[in-house]
Amino acid sequence: MGEIKFEHTEYLWGLLLIVAYIVLFWYRFYSKNKKLQKLGSRQVRNILLPEISVGRSIWKNTMLILATIFLVIALANPQVGAKFSKVKVKGAEIIIALDVSNSMEAEDIQPSRLDKARQEVIQLLGKIKSDRVGLIIFAGKSFIPVPLTTDYAMIKMYLRGINTDIISTQGTDIGGAINLAMESFSESKKNDKAIILITDGENHESNAVDLAKKATEKGISIHTIGLGKKEGVPLPVYNRYGQKEFRKDKDGNVVVSKLNEQLLAEIASAGNGRFVIGNNYGLGLDKIYDELKGLEKSDFDEKMVMDYDDDFQFYLWIALALLVMEFLILTKKNPLFSKFKFSKLKI
């Protein structure tokens, strides 16, 4: 018959309700039986209540319970494994470059620029189906902890653990992140490639726009997401008692971080991409990914899948048959069938 699995396992929790119904039925049956016994012997009860049939009640409830069990199984859709088959996996290549410099600790976007970016990227990964995704983190230097992969769980796991201390060299080298991303794509020319750059844009180098133009020559588009406010906000620092202070430079001045909107817009324009300003309601990753869905995809892998045949019809027909039988069984004795006994159960 092959392997059997359920497509909708959540419906199987309904079996617990059936167990509760069985317990309730037997409790009511026991209570009713005790009351009937107080009327006298079985012969007396048959004279006083000639139409009551305990056996019929048991059979009707049994049919109803069995029908419900088979109906729940049908809703869960049992499937029988038929055969293995090879399918080709198609997808584009997307590298997410995330700024982890100190300026990403700013709280003009709650809970912070970095925390908001991390949450949004994790949500995006839940929507991606077959594209290969890589992750780059950068500050004064760039690092690729997760190369292009379809193992989105690995990327999520890494994202949950990052902070601004993960790269010791501070600063914001956007050009270095773009350059590393270009080197990290495959050499295939059959599929499109894209970089999603998430940063406040406080670039400490001057070659980011030139590198964006170079990327387009290689068929790579660059989309930028800007985090922060143009007027700037001070960077918070929390002491060991959890009290908030503000980061200061060597001269004792409070460090203010501003969104470099102009630079990120220029990078996106040079990279044939889109520039979006993020806020507390979202970073615009969905809008960018909607555009990336139109990227040309190529075969990059094969995987074995099990084809399943739906088998819910069999259980549904049994449930319907049991419900018909339950309907045909009368709750009271029929004089025409008085000699036919549905149960030999004595009360």
| Entry field: residues in the chain | 347
Q: Is beta strand 93-99 parallel, antiparallel or unpaired with respect to 132-138?
A: parallel
Q: Which tens digits make up the pLDDT trace of 241-294?
A: 878 888 888 888 888 999 999 999 999 999 999 999 999 888 889 889 888 877
Report the distance separating Cα 268 and Cα 347, nearest Å. 84
At 346, is the pLDDT very low, low, confident or very high (cuts 50, 70, 90)? Answer: very low
At 18, is the pLDDT very low, low, confident or very high (cuts 50, 70, 90)? Answer: confident
336: pLDDT strictly greater than 50: no
What confidence score (pLDDT) does residue 312 get?
A: 83
Contact residues for 280 (Cβ-Cβ < 8 A; gap 6+) = 109, 110, 116
CB 188 within 8 A of CB 300: yes
What confidence score (pLDDT) does residue 241 get?
A: 80
Place of tokens 């495959």: 186
What confidence score (pLDDT) does residue 333 get?
A: 54
Least confident of 38-47, 84-93, 264-273: 38-47
What confidence score (pLDDT) does residue 97 get?
A: 97
At 156, is the pLDDT very low, low, confident or very high (cuts 50, 70, 90)? Answer: very high
Is pTM, for the whole model, over 0.75? no
47: pLDDT strictly greater than 60: no
Parse the chain into domains and list their residue ranges. 4-77+311-337, 88-301
Second-level CATH architecture of 88-301: 3-Layer(aba) Sandwich (3.40)
Q: Which tens digits make up the pLDDT trace of 108-131?
A: 999 999 999 999 999 999 988 888
Which amino acid belongs to residue 170? Q
Higher pLDDT, 272 or 80: 272
